[in-house]
Amino acid sequence: MENMGYRDEVKLFLGTAAPADAQALVAFAVEKQGVIGDLPAAVAAVAKRVFAAWPAKGKARQSIAHLLENRGGKPQWLILAGLGDGAKLDLNCYRHAAAAACRLCGKYKLSHVCVYSHSAVNSVSAADAAAAIAEGWILAAYRFEELKGTAAAPADKENQLPTQSVRLALAGGAISPAVKNAVRRASVIAQAQNLARTLANRPANIINPPSLAKAAGELARQTPGLRCKVLSEGQLAKLNMNGLLAVGGGSIDTPPRLIVLEYRPAQNKTADPVLLVGKSITFDTGGISIKPADKMGKMIYDKCGGTTVLAIMIAAARLKLPMPLVGLLAAAENHVSHKAYRPGDVLRMHNGVTVEVTNTDAEGRLVLADGLAWGIENYHPRAAVDLATLTGGVIVALGKQIAGVMTRHTELFEQLQKAGQKSGENLWRLPLGEEQREQIKSDAADIVNSAGRDGQPLQGGAFLSYFVDEKLPWAHIDIAGVADTEKDLPQYGKGATGWGVRTLINWLEQLNVKGR
């Protein structure tokens, strides 16, 4: 996927045997039980001996390399990756094991790799195992290095992963259509997730609202079935999208944009679409309610909701999902200038709700509110989901591994939670009721954009509920804790994670196309 400077780090193939030029043979092992899968007899015998001497004995996220032979200076390695406890085997075990093996291949600079998958184990089918391996490997191989310059020391590149040619080898005859389809799907989704990570990792001097709109347009042109249009500040003013305009008003040279992506499959062009809205604050100073300088540079990740929506739209079109979709990226830079909005301002939003600004650093809900109201009015969606790095409070409540979900619709939450469990992305429901809506009532206007520190994430969901018809299945997902990471995780290095791409694609695939 050569899109906007992004390139795939893995070229993935399917086969039934290792290619002759394989530099590494990768197999999986269950904790304390041994190596699994139908390996060639000679490889299986060595793998058994390596496992017996391995201190980790197949523990989750552990891997070990053993030199098989060195032919004329061309070594071939056997790598065992631990799946953990066999009784607890799930798709995440495979993702994490594949990620561990991928990183070990990177350490040894092995670019031609054969990974032995296998038939069903416990409740994990061969197709699901192969797909999870593909996801884990592609996500772990990702690296963001496009901004490295001539001053980068050789030591900085010591552990870089090479672009890899990876063959998933499934022994036992022809590869089934189910496995082929599962691996292709996983590859498309993981590549889209990595694209979201690249766009999110790019700093604000490269990605701002106009340049994000340009990137979305170019990506849409490269993706059959996807259309893009962009509403500029003049059009936004005519639509009374004063929340988006206010937040972006302080950024004089890089004004706000509403980026509209449409995907309508040929077989269901007239069906009601699903609406996805992403907060796309390309940089957030906090405005006049300015943030502390410490870690302000991390505010490049305040656009992660939007980059995730863009990636979902690309993946949906490439997978040819039968569900019509509309994706909105509400893009602005929240800056300080003589045109910046102020605490005390009252904004009349697109749907007529008036908002008293009490904190200019509670800006994400303002851009999302206009996006939701306009999207619902124009597209009459069957369901709507927004994603946003909205509040630090959700991190206090749920930490860095769980996203908070606010919705009036239990069935929708259960669908999203199930999709998240399959993808390895965890969600937790937070309350959204009249108590929270009452908390943000204003004396001067209808509502305030912030009512203080108490229940921060809940205030965000309550605020957005004023812009969504209560009968419409809608969920607000606060991804502030999961959108980026400051430490290495099993599948991710430091930086943006692209969280939500897999969960939302899983959810969309389960929806009844014609029903509400």
Q: Which residues are catalytic?
A: 291, 365
Burial class from Cβ neighbours inside 10 Å (0-12, 13-18, 19+) for residue 390 reads: buried
Angle between helices 456-465 and 364-379 (to 10 degrees): 30
Residue 215 host element (H or E)? helix 209-221
Contact 486, 494 (CB under 8 A): yes
Q: Give 370's contacts (C-beta < 8 A, 6+ positions apart).
A: 236, 241, 242, 243, 244, 258, 330, 349, 350, 467
Nearest to 289 by CA among 213, 341, 330: 341
Burial class from Cβ neighbours inside 10 Å (0-12, 13-18, 19+) for residue 499 reads: buried
Pairing of strands 354-356, 346-348: antiparallel
The phi, psi pair for 197, rounded to 5°, reads: -65, -45
Supply the DSSP string of 270-330, one letter for each residue.
TSPPEEEEEEEEEEE--TTSPPPSTTGGGGGGGGHHHHHHHHHHHHHHHHT-SS-EEEEEE
Nearest to 9 by CA among 140, 114, 164, 156: 164
Residue 65 to residue 50: CA distance in whole angstroms: 9
Tracing tokens 């239990």 back to the chain, one arrives at 410
Residue 288 to residue 336: CA distance in whole angstroms: 6
Residue 20 is classified by DSSP as T
Contact 460, 365 (CB under 8 A): yes
Angle between helices 177-201 and 501-510 (to 10 degrees): 140
- 85: which 2 tokens? 């406890």
Contact 427, 503 (CB under 8 A): yes
Tracing tokens 């190596």 back to the chain, one arrives at 35
The sign of the torsion formed by the CA atoms of 431, 387, 464, 248 equals positive
